Structure 1
Amino acid sequence: MKNKWIAILLITVLAILPGIFSLKTPLKAEAQAATASMTTHSWQAFFTKALKDSKITDAHVYVTNGKNQKVTATITLGEDKKTLIVSDLAPGSYKLHVNKEAFALSGPKTASQVIPFTVIEKLEAVKSEKELQQYFKALLANSDKEMSHEASVETARSEDKASANNASTTNNQVEGVEEGDIVVVKDGFIYAVKNQSITVVDARDPKNLKLATTIKLKESQYISKLALYDNLLIAIGDEYLEKVGTSMSTATLYDISNPKNAKLIREVGQEGYLQDIRITDDTLYLIGNMYPNYWMLRDQKAPDLKPKTFDSIEGKEYKSLPLEKISILPNTMDGTYSLMTAVDLKNGAKTTANTKGYLGGSSGLYMSENALYLTTPIYDGNPVPAASRIMDMIWMPRATDTQVFKWNVDGTAMNFVGTTEVKGTVLNQYSMDEYEGNFRIVTTEGNTRDEQEISRNHLFILDENLQQLGAVKDLAPGEKVYSARFMGEKAYVVTFKQVDPLFVIDVANPKKPTVLGELKIPGFSNYLHPLDETHLIGIGYDTEQRYDAYSKRNFTVTTNMKMSLFDVSDFKNPKEQSTVKIGGKGSYSDVQYNPKALFRNKEYSYFGFPVVLYDAGKGDEIVYKGQGAQIYEITANKGIVLKGNIVNKSTGDQYENWEQRVQRVVYIDDALYTVASNEVKSYQLKDFKPLDTLTIK
């Protein structure tokens, strides 16, 4: 199965390579621009050649309407000197005129540019197949220009319905918004993903664990997470359809009223690859990306470039998404669809799913109970489609900005609000937040390895229409964001290059966010978790400085894992109240890059996670020490105290056994369970005394 996915990736890469490395000269002043913009935001055109500030005048750069009459518009030149920003236009059809004299290095190959665009009040659906084909033909033409340009430059320079009993729940970012995980718990049963199946463990008697059943999935189906809603078990994943030659993001729903006999009741799918899911307001949202093969336009007159969907309650056929469900996002020229399928889960999820497709890809996601935000990086002025992001491994365009899209959601209704751009790139979903209708986002602009243009970090606050209200800019120059967490009227940001500054930012006044305090300590936290209103848990790595005799420079290396308790009761003087070192050099935990791996139990104030322990050996070698899980009691009074060291020590093995590596730690009533691929172990929660082991073949 894994080989099949690798083959697909390689085929995609090989298909793109010839275009990237072909050399076409000389370099022309080509333009790239979105076909539309909303009245609430500006429209932009990006050029491959720089323009002159002094020539951005009505004589050389201007806008005409549908009657070829000049109209009044605000036209400004971006900081990169290659982007023209047009604003203050009423809804309608326009053309931007840029005379060749406006370019900084005009020559025989430089020509004047006329770029059509429209300004709209609200997002409309695509009206015809012809309109959709024209969009992709424009993309194809721009793609050819962009590939030529890149090669030339290179040569030149809510209520928790998941579990009503006393048991573990998913570590979700937003209360009331379920995200799903690879292990979920309900009514004394543990459901865990294992290859192309779901293992169901009867854990009602922790001293006598039983395998209740194994839910078999298709061989072509890869499950990435599970979610629960009342008596529904939802398996989320991707399926490759060899006969159709495409992949589907799928949600497979089972009735688990009887956990020992789960019944398949429905399957929903959308073409492309899964980005993530959310469940809120009794609705499942399946969010993904689909990259159509629009280069087929060269060979076929009218290929079907609409995404395919599937819903088992409507039949066995895969259907193309109707045009009235497809829209082109403003200010984008990205051939990737962002696809969203909303399924009403009430009454056994029997109603028709609502799928919408938006041309404009995305890679980041944040969701509140009322709104969905998608983000995509902009590389050197150009949003890069998903297929091109595969090439990040081969060529590295520099991500400079982030485009944000917003939808208001109400059950299965998804209504597009607008889009905007912010400086810098976003780390992950925890760098985003919604509070009292305002959207907050933390970004890093630039690269810490770039000594000429040092990196900077920013926090932006946008209103409900994505208009900027306030910002904190140029935080920790030369460093980048490693973690962030918003807690109501405060934001906490960790940046790092050589030491770990923890910044406390007051965001109570959205128009004037203010840095209150800063703490500098060795190491860094790449996940922050709130303990209470004035204490924060940080999980990351310790670091040490070393000297490179060749470059005659100091450099930083990670050593052991580290967990800290930060006291931020005095916002101006945050303190590292307590800290523990975990393992030695090379030790790691899934929780460092996936917060779902964090175990929590309020009754005992427990926090824990799976661990794989290594230690420093000779030279740069690391020595395997063991694997398992560690549970800590963390309180504001006592700090961090190790309570359960559930680690199987190495008996001479060089590396961990991946089948026995603990994936998640959960609890049910008074028992704790560690879940690995081939075994589930139970312990007493109060003292971690071993109770039973269930081997899963």
Structure 2
Amino acid sequence: MKNKWIAIMVIAILAILPGIITLTMTPTVVAKAASVSMATKSWQATFTKALKESKITEETVYVTNSKDQKVEAAITLGEDKKTLIVSDLAPGNYKLHVQKDAFVLGGSKASSQVISFTIIEKLEAVKSERELQQYFDTLLANPDKEVKYDSSREMESKADSPSVSSNSSMTNNQVEGVEEGDLVVVKDGFIYSVKEHSITVVDATNPKNLALAATLKIEDSKYISKLALYDHLLIAIGDKYLEKAGTSMSTATLYDISNPKSPKFLREVGQEGYLQDIRITNDTLYLIGNMFPNYWALRDNKTIDLKPKTYDSRGTKEFQSLPLEKISILPNTLDGTYSLITALDLKNGAKATANTKGYLGGSSGLYMSEDALYLTTPVYDGSAAVPAENRIMDMRIWMPRATNTQIFKWNVDGTTMNFVGNTEVKGTVLNQYSMDEYKGNFRVVTTEGNTWDEKNISRNHLFILDKNLKELGTVQDLAPGEKVYSARFMGEKAYVVTFKQVDPLFVIDVANPKKPTVLGELKIPGFSNYLHPLDETHLIGIGYDTEQRYDAFSKRNFTVTTNMKMSLFDVSDFKNPKEQSSVKIGGKGSYSDVQYNPKALFRNKEYNYFGFPVVLYEAGKGDEIVFKGQGAQIYEITADKGIVLKGNIIEESTDEPYENWDQLVQRVVYIGDALYTVAHKEVKSYQLKDFQPLDKLIIK
């Protein structure tokens, strides 16, 4: 009876676990392999069972061509003993044959495998509906396919990008000349901001008399995530759910704001799926997203359209399936998600036709320079099943872990996008700031493993790749047992913050791409979520302070975050970086959007100001935290004076237990000699020089 109840409980638990769990009832062999690979790369197939190296011979493991003739190929066994790596093949269609005797299990416990794949010289479009369906049929037949997650959602390293106005705030973009958009944008004395299902336009030409100039109502089915400016265009980026079609669209809606008090709708373009991000460079808007088709319907022999839909209000105003000639299968991927890229020429009022391309192979991270787009996606290792603590009927729980990162590159020239190639690096990428392009080379910082895994400790790496994504140089096994919390590239130097119990700031010389070298290291309590260049030899770090505590149950020390912390790092002596200045912000529980979204950073060069929205808490009794106030803080930061608080624009709490959403500051901007805090339902103005209040506008 006891075993019966254990069985029922385990099955119940498994039933509520996410869809990434697979139950393996028998020791049969399953293969995982991409259908397409570039001729410049090796193709590989990974099996759920190990192979015998001594049994990998011409008789047991071989490759045949489209005429079923054996061909010469270099076949090697990977370090995991489960992966066969095939190389030295000319473009064409092939099959890998693996006899059952090649597996360690052998006999009746194994089965022979035949896997079809194609080697291509350059990325080509899908040629037929049948070819597209075969791709999805392969996924359905492969229960151990790659699993992809949407990560939250990354310089020539100059902190500022060209502004639409020389005397007003600009978006804190990563790369000069590449606009990223934000919740609030400023142009010609007007503030444009996202407000639920509307866009508000505030006339701030007279900071002592703020006025609501216009409100652009957005349909309830649409969610606006960011705004961007180009010449006289306001571009609203969002997601729209189409109830009748049962799908979502990522959209870019363009308005003519030649008259800010009366914006005029010009055009809307959209692509099916969910938005990843946007970029604007060289007069072109790039809308980048993911779309996951319901290919499971093929199991029921249903005839379905597996192509993504697009929309353009300047066309037929109907959703169109993307033509096959616009769809390609990314090499070395086995994933049912499309990466979609729409490029729109913004010149002449964005009247040109939008160019949308779909690539089978999803993505979760991106970096873009003026000339190239890089998309990244984690590679999950699900080949090893983890035994349940009390296994019943030989059930195993499959918990895939992100181990490596695939990188895909396109050269871009306006609306023309040419695929360059792909590669794979060890570890996973934190965000866009862990990536960078410099003099044609791509640099990326990754973390391999997990900090909680004491058997296989985490490690951090830096890779430098050439214009064709071939490895030039690396720094590997940095800070064992820790993970990357922030990174920033500044020309010929890279700065990496790792953390587990203390915050090591590493200074890495990347001037010689073939031999990157760690120059220095600084260890201090806490960690920085975001690094921002002050000048060539100083960095601003924004994050948390930490403290050590002891857990009597586990008899181990552990680390907890306390107050916010901002540091000024002096790296003029690259071998001996120093924390020149630091400030503690609030108490335990205090936070700012800037820690996770650098767009929230306010900058003003004239006054050397840096600021951000902030919500202040402090420690109460036990683990309780007490709300103290909300607003914004402005600091003067210079190499000479360090960090000095100049504006404490905080509305202190009286009886409220937590922050007021209506008054929660989203962004801080400036126009001329005035500073503005933009909240969800109010805008306040202040004198920039001394932060004396000027006016307040309530937005209903």
**TM-score normalised by the shorter chain: which range applies?**
over 0.9
Amino acid at match of 2:248: S
Alignment correspondent of 1:153: none
Which residue of 2 is the match for residue 61 of structure 1?
A: 61
- 1:465 and 1:428, CA in 2 relative to 1: closer, same or farther beyond 3 A? same
* Structure 1 position 417 matched with structure 2 position 436: no
| 2:173 paired residue number | 172
- 1-structure distance, mates of 2:547, 2:73: 55
Residue number in structure 2 paired with 1:152: none
Change beyond 3 A, Cα 1:272–1:523: same
Displacement of 1:364 in angstroms is 0.4
* Displacement of 1:27: 2.8
Any idea what SS the aligned residue of 1:313 has?
coil
**Contact 2:436–2:443 at 8 Å: present in 1 too?**
yes
Aligned to 2:347: 346
What is the Cα deviation at residue 81 of structure 1?
2.2
Instruction: Give 1 or 2: higher helix fraction.
Output: 1
Amino acid at match of 1:62: Y
Between 397-406 and 48-57, the greater mean CA deviation after superposition: 48-57
Paired AA for residue 123 in structure 2: L
The CA deviation at 1:301 is 4.0
How far 1:163 sits from its partner (Å)?
1.1
**Counterpart residue number, 1:48:** 48
Residue among 611, 627, 631 paired with 1:628: 631
1:576 to 579, 582, 601: 579
Q: Which moved more, 1:48-57 or 1:484-493?
A: 48-57
Q: 3-state DSSP class of the match of 1:659?
A: helix
Amino acid at match of 1:364: G
Bigger shift: residues 352-361 or 86-95: 86-95
* Aligned match of 1:507: 510
Q: Deviations over 1:204-224 (max 9, x none)?
A: 000000000100111100000
Aligned counterpart, 2:284: 283
The one-character-per-residue Cα deviations of 1:469-515 (angstroms, maximum 9, x if unpaired) are 11000000000000000001100000000000000001111111110
Match for residue 378 of structure 1?
A: 379
Match of 1:187 in 2: 188
Equivalence for 1:616 = 619
Superposed CA deviations along residues 98-117 of structure 1, whole A, max 9, x for unmatched, are 22122222241311111111
Between the aligned partners of 1:587 and 1:612, the Cα distance in structure 2 is 6
Whole-Å Cα distance in 1 between the matches of residues 314 and 270 of structure 2?
12
Q: Distance in 2 between matches of 1:518 and 1:62?
A: 50
1:241-252 counterparts in 2 under 5 A?
241-252=242-253
Residue pair 1:404, 1:421 contacting (<8 A) in 2 also: yes
> Which position in structure 2 is the counterpart of 1:389?
none
Q: Is the 8 A contact 2:145 2:335 kept in 1?
A: no
Q: Secondary structure at the match of 1:169?
A: coil
Change (3 A) 1:19 1:260: closer
> How many aligned residue pairs are there?
663
Correspondence 1:461 to 2:464: yes
Q: 1:18 to 1:633 in 2, by over 3 A?
A: closer
- Give 1:654's aligned residue: 657
The alignment partner of 1:135 has SS state of helix
Asked if 2 retains the 8 angstrom alpha-carbon contact of 1:491 and 1:504, the reply is: yes
**2:530 alignment partner, one of 523, 527, 537:** 527
Residue in structure 1 matched with residue 154 of structure 2 by the alignment = none
Tell me, which stretches of 5 or more residues in structure 2 are unaligned?
Answer: 1-13, 148-157, 384-396
User: What is the match of residue 539 of structure 2?
Assistant: 536
Q: How far apart are the structure 2 equivalents of 1:16 and 1:46?
A: 28
CA deviation string 1:522-575 (max 9, x = no partner): 000010000011000000000000111111100000000000000001100000
Match of 2:449 among 446, 450, 461: 446
TM-score, with length taken from structure 1: 0.93
Separation in 2, partners of 1:650, 1:138: 59
Contact 1:381 1:400 in 2 (8 A): no
Shift of 1:664: 0.2
> What is the rounded CA distance, in whole Å, between the counterparts of 1:551 and 1:271 in structure 2?
49
Sort the Cα spacing of 1:571 and 1:57 in 2 relative to 1 into closer, same or farther, 3 A.
farther
User: What's 2:129 paired with?
Assistant: 129
What is the CA–CA distance in structure 2 between the aligned matches of 1:161 and 1:452, rounded to whole Å? 48
Displacement of 1:436 after TM fit? Answer: 0.6
Query: In structure 2, how many angstroms separate the alpha carbons of the residues matched to 1:684 and 1:18?
Result: 52
Matched, 1:665 2:668: yes
User: 1: distance between equivalents of 2:98 and 2:672?
Assistant: 70
Change (3 A) 1:299 1:18: farther
SS at match of 1:115: strand
Structure 1 residues 395 and 521, CA gap change in structure 2 (3 angstroms): farther
Q: Which residue of 2 aligns with 1:117?
A: 117
**Does the 8 Å CA contact 2:20/2:398 hold for their aligned counterparts?**
no
1:16 Cα deviation after fit: 11
**3-state DSSP class of the match of 1:297?**
helix
Q: For each residue in 1:14-42, what CA deviation from the matched residue of structure 2 results, as whole angstroms up to 9, or x when unmatched?
A: 99979766745213111111111001211
Q: Is the 8 A contact 2:612 2:668 kept in 1?
A: yes
Change (3 A) 1:21 1:423: closer
- Aligned to 2:296, the other structure's residue is in SS state helix
Residue 237 of structure 1 is matched in structure 2 by 238
Q: Is the 8 Å Cα contact of residues 19 and 147 (structure 1) preserved in structure 2?
A: no
Distance 2:96 2:689 in 1: 70
Query: Structure 1 495/17 Cα, relative in aligned 2: closer, same or farther at 3 Å?
Result: closer
CA distance in 2, matches of 1:594, 1:161: 20
**How far apart in 1 are the matches of 2:609 and 2:48?**
55
Distance 2:382 2:352 in 1: 42
Superposition map of 1:21-170 within 5 A: 23=23, 25-143=25-143, 163-170=164-171
Whether the aligned pair in 2 keeps the contact of 1:238 and 1:249 (CA below 8 Å) is yes
Measured in 1, the distance between the counterparts of 2:531 and 2:567 equals: 10
More contact order relative to length (CA 8 Å, sep ≥ 6): 2
Aligned-pair distance for 1:56? 3.2
Equivalent residue of 2:133, what SS? helix
Equivalent of residue 477 in structure 1, options 480, 502, 506: 480
Amino acid paired to 1:184: V
**Residue 300 of structure 1: how far off its partner (Å):** 3.8
- Residue 662 of structure 2 aligns with an amino acid whose one-letter code is E
Mean Cα deviation higher: 23-32 or 457-466: 23-32
- Alpha-carbon separation, structure 2, partners of 1:280 and 1:20: 38
Shift of residue 668, structure 1, vs aligned partner: 0.3
CA contact (8 A) 1:200 1:211 kept: yes
Instruction: Give the superposition deviation at 1:270.
Output: 0.2
Equivalent residue of 1:347, what SS?
helix
* Shift, 1:413, TM fit: 0.4
1:190-201 superposed matches below 5 A = 190-201=191-202
CA RMSD of aligned residues (A): 1.9
Q: Is the 8 A contact 2:145 2:334 kept in 1?
A: no
> For residues 409 and 102 of structure 1, do their structure 2 counterparts lie closer, same or farther at Cα, with a shift above 3 Å needed?
same
Show CA shifts across 1:651-671 (max 9, x none): 121100011011100000100
Partner of 1:547: 550
TM-score (norm 2): 0.92
Tell me by how many angstroms 1:401 deviates. Answer: 0.5
Task: Report the Cα distance in structure 1 between the residues aligned to 2:461 and 2:273, rounded to whole angstroms.
Answer: 33
Measured after TM superposition, the shift of residue 302 of structure 1 is 2.5
- Alignment-derived partner of residue 150 in structure 2: none
AA partner of residue 371 (structure 2): N
Q: Unaligned regions of 5+ residues in structure 1, if any?
A: 1-13, 149-157, 383-393
Greater Cα offset, 531-540 or 71-80? 71-80
Look up the SS of the partner of 2:314 in the other structure. Answer: helix
Deviation at 1:162, TM superposition (A): 5.3
Contact 2:161–2:171 (8 Å) recurs in 1: no
Q: Secondary structure at the match of 2:40?
A: coil
Q: Cα offset for 1:60? A: 2.6
1:511 counterpart letter in structure 2:
K
**Matches of 2:15 and 2:308, distance apart in 1:** 21
Instruction: State the alpha-carbon separation in 2 of the partners of residues 442 and 656 from structure 1.
Output: 36
